[in-house]
Amino acid sequence: MKDLFQKAFDEGRDFLTERESYAMFAALGLDVPRHELIPDGAWLRGRLHEIKKEYPERVVLKVASPDIHHKTEIGGVAVVDNNADAIAGAFDAITTRAREAMPDARLEGALLMEYVQCEQELLVSLIDDPTFGYMLSVGKGGTLTEIFKDIAMRPAPVEKANVEAMVKSLKTYPLLKGYRGTKKADIGQIADFVTTISLLARPAQKSRQKAPAPFCRGFEVVELEINPLAITKDGRVLPIDSILRFRKTRPEEPDIAGKSSAPNEKNLDQLFHPKTIALIGASDTTEKMGGSILKLLIESGAAKVFPVNPKRKELMGLKAYKSISEIPGPIDLAVLAIPAKFTLPVVTECAEAGVKVAIVISGGFGETGTEGKKIEAQMAASARKTGMRIIGPNCMGVYFEPTKFSTFFLSPEKTEIPHCDVNNFTVLSQSGAVCVQMVELTRNVGIRGIVSYGNMIDVDVADLMAYFDRDSGTDVIGIYIEGLTDGAKFISAAKAMHKPVIITKGGKSRAGSAATVSHTGAIAGDYDIAKAVFKSTGLVEAETLEDFADYAKAFSFLHGRRPKGHRLGVISNAGGLAVLAADATEGTCLKMAKYCKATIEAIKAETGGLVIVSNPTDLTAGISDEGFAKAAAHILDDENVDALILIPGIQPRPMREDAIVDEIIRLYNRYDKPMAVTITPTEKRLAMFNRLEAARVPHYDTPERAVRALAAFVELLNGVENGAAQRSSL
């Protein structure tokens, strides 16, 4: 058994035959269909008597050859009754057809198998994703697999409880629960099977541990797909068809960029709290990048700034230096604002001068092709020699609110980084332009930190996540990523987070980059895999920039509030808007609350009995600001309500615009249940907006956006499963 992969490898194969796969499953302790190899007709005739006794009423014969993959297509499969004539006839027929169709194929005979009566068909797969490593999938198997794409996926290895949750999340789970005459399947037994299969994954940390199963020592699975995994009519869990591709375990590759699977926070304190900064490529005109940044650094005043420019003696009133080595004393941070072609030697110089961390602003490296990637590797190697960290290249660097330290060199007439009374939201973005867009869209949320981290040749998003998870002023982290170089490290950082993370991914193409031959590859592209990673590590995905901004506002403003459940109240003086809010809960975790009788009576009394009290609650146009607030308080007092959306629509009177804002802010401060407000965004109402935002009440232009954002917040807090439980700082 130990030689299963070796034998196939020696035969020049990178896959197991069906029989070998059964052997492997059996070696893992799993049940497989009864089967045997029939080498030839003579041998078969000698066995027919036993076959009759040992096999059930019907049997399957499949031509056995390591060279024939699509057996059905060449007529190489037959299902026949278990009697001598039928079996012998089928054997001759399929082997003859195979010989005719593929005369050069090595023919080992035919595989005889019991015919399995399926109650349900599942798909189970394990694929080694180039970014995230082994991903395990469970889903609907059979011919409908690719049509309905009903699969659940998460990084392997997995616990049994994970698998049960995955199975229960399937749309076709009702079929397994027993539905319209189908038998109830044993979910525990399915989960045991899948958990065992997941042992074939190397641990998520690629190449760091040996393969766990003895029979594949020296080899590793590239992809395994079992489709169908049969849940049989008599309750067995049996792999029927499978594909398994493997490769020789790669020797530990030299780790070019010095990456480790644990986040590395070394020197990041000096990145955000530098005492001394050298700006290489400093200029005295803000028309140039080196001038813009110099001005920003001087204005911040948080650190001593040393401009470097060999052609100048003084810049903006500061002594200029010819090179970094000329600067007296230690340098915490070097900012490189020089063209790409001059960058490598300067990075080396910085490293040798003992700089703790360098920000390389310029683009023109890895994003332009192989040549650029080579230079990046050299920069990383130089830095590693002395332990210097690098941010970038191809980035805008850092902004940190407490010290106003900033390298964000956009001219102030284009944009300014917004500043609020409370600043607890940190943005990490691979793209500079998306970073700016995110900061603008969350302008009233309160930005604490920004890192535009670019090509990630050293400091990557996982390092920054870990750092800001410990940063006491950051309550919520927002991330934009396109690609990742070390998916395993990202998973490890994501799992360890205590603070809520909102993440948007660019590059959502569903085309898989991995060359897989299985269904799973056709179903799950790179984006689906990334989605599965986000979900399973408890990150909150915002699919659009709109959602990103809306969630950021809810999470930052509502920080510290804990809903007890998913039951939502909606209150309005405008029936139609209340209806749209209730509609928008569909498909979210929020359920419309059922008010207590006392609540209903209290609201009725408040409104003179004129209003039919239900949820959503339409107090009608006749309600005053005071009446609205009193009714809202009754709903917030109701123990059947976990969260509230307030929609003071524009109505003629008696509601007063200023007064209702006062009332809402009072309620918001009095109750700690999560709330969101929808205010129709008229020009006349800008003042209402601003007052609500100053009071950090989340408000949205439309009922639907308020519901989506509040749902994301409630889901975060309630997502005990899938790793979100550890978000203890909420």
Q: According to CB under 8 A, which residues from 381 to 420 bind a second copy?
A: 409-411, 413-416
Measured between alpha carbons, how far is residue 471 from residues 116, 273, 449, 544 in Å? 58, 12, 10, 27
Instruction: List the interface residues with a second copy, window 580-639 (CB under 8 A).
Output: 580, 583-584, 586, 612, 620-621
Distance of alpha carbon 196 from alpha carbon 160, whole angstroms = 9
- In 404-494, beta strands by DSSP E: 405-406, 425-429, 447-452, 476-481
> Does 657 interact with a second copy (rule: CB under 8 A)?
yes
Using the minimum distance from each CB to a second copy, give the nearer residue, 300 or 680. Answer: 680
Distances (CA, A) of 663 to 549, 605, 666: 26, 19, 5
Nearer to a second copy, 108 or 693 (CB): 693
Cβ proximity to a second copy, 262 vs 316, nearer residue = 316
Site string for a second copy, 678-707 (x = CB under 8 A): --xxxxxx---------------xxxxx--
Binding test (CB under 8 A) with a second copy, winner from 23, 118, 199, 441: 441
- CB nearer a second copy, residue 321 or residue 408: 408
Of the pair 409, 534, the CB lying nearest a second copy is at 409
Separation CA 724–CA 730 (nearest Å): 11
Which of 545, 659, 665, 695 touches a second copy (CB under 8 A)? Answer: 545
Task: Provide, rounded to whole angstroms, the least separation between the CB of residue 96 and a second copy.
Answer: 21
Q: Smallest distance from the beta carbon of 329 to a second copy, in angstroms?
A: 31
The answer to whether 482 contacts a second copy (rule: CB under 8 A) is: yes
Helix (H, G, I), strand (E, B) or coil at 611: coil
Applying the rule CB under 8 A, the residues between 196 and 225 that interact with a second copy are none
- Does position 508 interact with a second copy (CB under 8 A)? The reply is yes
Which residues lie below 8 Å from residue 469, measured CB to CB, with a gap of 6+?
Answer: 477, 496, 497, 498, 499
As a whole number of angstroms, the distance between CA 518 and CA 225 comes to: 6
Q: Which of residues 161-200 bind a second copy (CB under 8 A)?
A: 171-172, 174-175, 179-182
Q: Binding of a second copy at residue 106 (CB under 8 A)?
A: no
Q: By the 8 A CB rule, do 211 and 202 touch? A: yes
Neighbours of 300 (CB within 10 A): 17
Stretch that binds a second copy, among 24-32, 82-90, 328-336, 540-548 (CB under 8 A): 540-548
Applying CB under 8 A, the site for a second copy has a residue count of 79
Distance CA 641, CA 115 (A): 55
| Residue 204 to residues 198, 446, 485, 517, 534, Cα–Cα distance (Å) | 11, 36, 14, 22, 15
Burial of 60 (0-12, 13-18, 19+ CB in 10 A): buried
In the complex, least distance from residue 452 CB atom to a second copy, rounded to whole angstroms: 10
Q: At what angle do helices 160-168 and 187-198 cross, to 10 degrees?
A: 120
Residues numbered 334-373 forming contacts with a second copy, rule: CB under 8 A:
363, 368
Site string for a second copy, 549-588 (x = CB under 8 A): -----------------------xxxxxx-xx--xx-x--
**Distance of CA 518 to CAs 131, 222, 697, Å?**
18, 11, 49
Stretch that binds a second copy, among 34-42, 242-250, 303-311, 646-654 (CB under 8 A): 646-654
Query: Count of CB atoms within 10 A of residue 199's CB?
Result: 15
Q: Which is nearer to a second copy, 77 or 381 (CB)?
A: 77
Residue 7 near a second copy by CB under 8 A: no
Query: Would you count residue 143 as binding a second copy (CB under 8 A)?
Result: yes
Q: 408 vs 555, which CB is nearer to a second copy?
A: 408
